[in-house]
Amino acid sequence: MPDPLDEPALVAFDFDGTLTVEDSFTAFLKWRAGPLRWAFGCLRLTPSAIGYLFHRNRGRIKSAAIREFLKGVKRETLEAEARTFAEIAAPRLFRPDAIMAWRRWRASGAKTIIVTASPDMIVAPFARGLGCDRLIGSAIAFDKDDRALGLLAGPNCRGPEKVRRLREVYGEDVRLTAAYGDTSGDREMLRIADEKGYRVFKGRP
Spatial separation of the C-alpha atoms in residues 32 and 5, rounded to whole Å: 46
* Predicted local confidence at residue 1, as pLDDT: 31
* Predicted local confidence at residue 3, as pLDDT: 40
Hey, CA dihedral for 71, 72, 75, 76, is it positive or negative? negative
Give the phi and the psi of residue 25 in degrees, each rounded to 5. Answer: -70, -40
CB 115 within 8 A of CB 10: no
Mean pLDDT in the chain? 95
pTM of the model: 0.93
* % of the chain exceeding 70 in pLDDT: 97
pLDDT band for 55, please (50, 70, 90 cuts): confident
Spatial separation of the C-alpha atoms in residues 185 and 81, rounded to whole Å: 27
pLDDT band for 2, please (50, 70, 90 cuts): very low
* Predicted local confidence at residue 150, as pLDDT: 94
Sheet of 134-138, strand order:
134-138, 111-119, 10-13, 176-181, 193-198
CB 24 within 8 A of CB 118: yes
Residues 6 or more apart whose Cβ sits within 8 Å of residue 136: 113, 114, 115, 116, 120, 157, 162, 165, 166, 169
Q: Could you state, in order of their start, the residue ranges of all structural domains in the chain?
A: 4-198
* Predicted local confidence at residue 6, as pLDDT: 67
Distances (CA, A) of 126 to 63, 82, 122: 22, 9, 8
pLDDT band for 52, please (50, 70, 90 cuts): confident
CB 138 within 8 A of CB 58: no
CATH topology of domain 4-198: Rossmann fold (3.40.50)
Spatial separation of the C-alpha atoms in residues 126 and 139, rounded to whole Å: 16
* Predicted local confidence at residue 5, as pLDDT: 54
Spatial separation of the C-alpha atoms in residues 123 and 90, rounded to whole Å: 11
Q: What is the pLDDT of residues 158-200, one digit of tens each?
A: 999 999 999 999 999 999 999 999 999 999 999 999 999 999 9
Spatial separation of the C-alpha atoms in residues 163 and 25, rounded to whole Å: 21
pLDDT band for 7, please (50, 70, 90 cuts): confident
Q: Give the helix/strand (H/E) hosting 85.
A: helix 75-93
* % of the chain exceeding 90 in pLDDT: 90
Q: What is the pLDDT of residues 58-105, one digit of tens each?
A: 889 999 999 999 999 999 999 999 999 999 999 999 999 999 999 999
